[in-house]
Every structure is written in structure tokens, then in C-alpha cells.
Structure 1
Amino acid sequence: MIRSLFSLAFAVALLLPGVVLAQEQAFANRATELKDRPSFDGRTLSPVPDGTAVKVLSRQGGWTQVDMGGNKGWIRVFHLRFPSTVEQSSGGGALSGLTSIFGFGGGKRGPESSKVATIGIRGLTPEDFQSSSPDPAALKKLQSYRSDRASAERFAKEAKLAPVRIDYAKGS
């Protein structure tokens, strides 16, 4: 009996992250585009206005597959914000996580809203650098994203950003 309860608890614990991800909602934090594949070169399916709610379906590197009102596609994870609910518990101990899953944990306070963003993107390996070759077209495309000083200052003013002077850290 105890073994089957433990097996059931273990199975539920393994499935919970998938259920949470399937129900996760996000919002566009800037105007962006819904792409047909997780690539900058993907075909644009539709524009995504700032603040648009989307349902997260899956993640692949720096891209997130979303459902936006029936339209499925890919958005850069950096263009999304993820509100979440965090429950604080006064209890601790080895079983506090399991007991909170099944609703046994005592001393809970109500949910607190917070914003959490975590992104995991695979880095480059030494082999990637050794097998790389120059791509002038990609460099030209990258340079097209550059902003001039006037538009950067206009953006900062519209966002009500103020300049801040930060001194260099002194060596220890």
C-alpha cells in the first residue's frame, strides 16, 4: 500500500512540470512577430502587439511556441514576460514540498504575485568556433538592427529612463 502511494506521488511529481508548462500564460513585452518556425528566417505569420496574451505550448532554445487566439507559432522568449504565482509557506523540512503538492501543508499564506523569468540557451562550444566561417550577409542583417543616437535617446525619453552615472568597481 505504501509502495503504491509512493509510486503514485512520484508519478504525479514527474508530471507536474509538464502540466504547469501546458497551462502557462505569457504576455508580449514588446511588439514582435509570430513566426512559423523557431528561426529569425521563419515566415512571419502575424504581428504580435505589445501586451498580447499568449498560451505557451513548448520551448526550444531561445524560442517559445505559443498559441495566440488559435494561431500557433514561435516567438523569441526575450519578447515574452511570464507572470507567476508563488506560494509562501511557514513550514519547512524534507517533506514540505510533497505535503504542499497534496494540500497537507499547514501554515500557508495566500498566493503572492511575482514575475519570474528564466531562460536556458545552449552556449557555443570550441568546436563551434573551429568550424565557423564568416557570413557577410548575416553581419549586414545584424548591423541593420543598430540604432542611432537620436532614436536611442527618443526611446529612453518615451520610456521615462534617466541617465545614471556608475563608477568603475575598485579592484579587491
Structure 2
Amino acid sequence: MKGARSIIRTMTIRPLLYAFLLAAASLPGLAQAQAQETATTNRSTDLKDKPSFFDGKALATLPENTPVKVLARNSGWTQVETAANQKGWVRVFHLRFAATVEQSSSGGSGLGGLSSMLGFGRPKQENAKIATIGIRGLSEEELKNANPDVAQLAKLINYRVDKGTAEGFARGNPALKPQQVAYVDEVAGAPPQKGRR
């Protein structure tokens, strides 16, 4: 009888132990998935109802250094929510994002690997002072699906003129006068520039 109880107890405890370990391993991932990106306004900016200069109506003006939660992105616009639960769109250039840098956890021993697997030895994130904006407003899908606009390129090429035509236009307009413009490195106190002129 004692042997049967021991087997039954082991069969009952083992699945519970596995379920507990699985739940413990998934908790850090859930918490990280729920964390939203935050930003701060880097100047006074309008909170718009639509991501548009012309069609968007200003809902409020956010002062400089207003903390916001990032909800979505649309081209050069970012949908945000303020601490007062105001939702709207601001220009991505009017936001300062907190950059993060991952450092690997110290898991040199066998227990370190086990704790990493369970989520206790996760990489530590620290704030970094990195200025990033670049192409932040475009999604990865928009970049993958981008196509050249051949009609716009042809229109741009039609605006091109040769040097003689440009000089003739300038000579024919009395309001335009020739001026000498110094290169940047020729201006007093400017550091010398490298590259072609």
C-alpha cells in the first residue's frame, strides 16, 4: 500500500510542478509584452485628433517635457495618451524616446542558466543616452511594401535645367545679383570640412 501511495503522490505532484515551472517561466514575458513605450515631448506641441497638419483639429497643447504613452504610429505621426487620459496624435519629431540597452545577465554556473530559463536571470535593461529618430514613423511593413513612384521621378526630372539656361534666367532677372558664397571651412572659426566641393 505504501508503494502505491508513493507512486500516486509522485504522479500527482509532478504535473503540478511542471505546470508551476511553466507558469513561472511565462510571467516575465507577459509583463514585458504589456509594457508600453513611453516618450516625453521635447517642445510645446499640439495634440491633434487626426495624423494631419491640415485636417487634424487641435484637441490640446502639450507643454514641453509632458510624459506620454505611445499607442500607435502612422508615418511621421505618433498616437499618444497623456496622464490625463487625453488621446491624440503628435509629430514624431516632437517626442523624445527613452532608449534601452540590454546587458546580459551573469549566469556562469549551472544555476544561472536555470534561473535564466525561469525568467529570474533576464537581461537587465538600462536607459541609454542615444538620439534616435530616423525613420521611426514608418512601420516595417510599410518599408517592405514601398514602391518607387515613377511618375513623380519623371516630374522631378522635367524640372532639371542645364547650367547655361540657369545662368541666362539669372541674368534676365534684375532682382537677382551674383554673390560669392564662401565654403564652410573658409568661414572664420569653422572647422575644416572633409570631402568633395
Q: Structure 2 length normalisation: TM-score? A: 0.48
Task: Return the index of the structure with the highest Cα Rg.
Answer: 2
Unaligned runs of 5+ in 2: 1-14, 156-188
Corresponding residue pairs, total: 132
Task: Tell me how far 1:10 sits from its aligned partner.
Answer: 7.5
Tell me, what secondary structure is at the counterpart of 1:67? strand
- Identity level (%): 38
Q: 1:76 to 1:87 in 2, by over 3 A?
A: same
Q: Work out the CA distance in 2 between the residues paired with 1:44 and 1:9.
A: 45
The one of 46, 57, 61 equivalent to 2:75 is: 61
Choose between structure 1 and 2: higher helix proportion: 2
Tell me, what secondary structure is at the counterpart of 1:37? coil
Task: Tell me how far 1:61 sits from its aligned partner.
Answer: 2.6
Task: Tell me how far 1:20 sits from its aligned partner.
Answer: 2.4
Match of 2:90 in 1: 75
Match of 2:64 in 1: 50
Moved over 4 A (4+): 1-13, 15-18, 90-93, 162-165
Task: Tell me how far 1:55 sits from its aligned partner.
Answer: 1.6
Task: Tell me how far 1:30 sits from its aligned partner.
Answer: 1.9
The one of 120, 133, 137 equivalent to 1:103 is: 120
8 Å contact from structure 2 (residues 43, 94) kept in 1? yes
Give yes or no for the alignment of 1:168 onto 2:175.
Answer: no
Q: Structure 1 length normalisation: TM-score? A: 0.54
Match of 1:146 in 2: none
8 Å contact from structure 1 (residues 33, 46) kept in 2? yes
Unaligned runs of 5+ in 1: 135-161
Q: Work out the CA distance in 2 between the residues paired with 1:63 and 1:28.
A: 13
Match of 1:125 in 2: 147
